[in-house]
Amino acid sequence: MRYLLAIILPPLAVLFCGKPGQALLNLILCLFGWLPGIIHAIVVVNNHKADKRTDRLIEAIQQGQHR
């Protein structure tokens, strides 16, 4: 869903990832051209998903060590 939003409204997709500073940067990139804004938004959304995946993995490892 965020990837579709990254194509349609890139700054909003970046903002939904919880990165207001990156959203401002993305807005500036969109003013220079829509394509740089889309590319930046896709990278930010992808990094956000990777961070969430890593957090779940770390949490699972920590729970396994406490047993």
pLDDT over 70 at 67, yes or no: no
- Residue 48 to residue 21: CA distance in whole angstroms: 14
Q: Domain ranges in the chain?
A: 2-65
Give the predicted TM-score (pTM) of the model. 0.86
Query: Tokens 């890139």 map to which residue?
Result: 10
Q: Are 49 and 61 in contact (CB under 8 A)?
A: no
HSE-CB for 31 with a 13 A CA cutoff: 6
> pLDDT tens across 8-56, in order?
999 999 999 999 999 999 999 999 999 999 999 999 999 999 999 999 9
Q: Are 45 and 3 in contact (CB under 8 A)?
A: yes
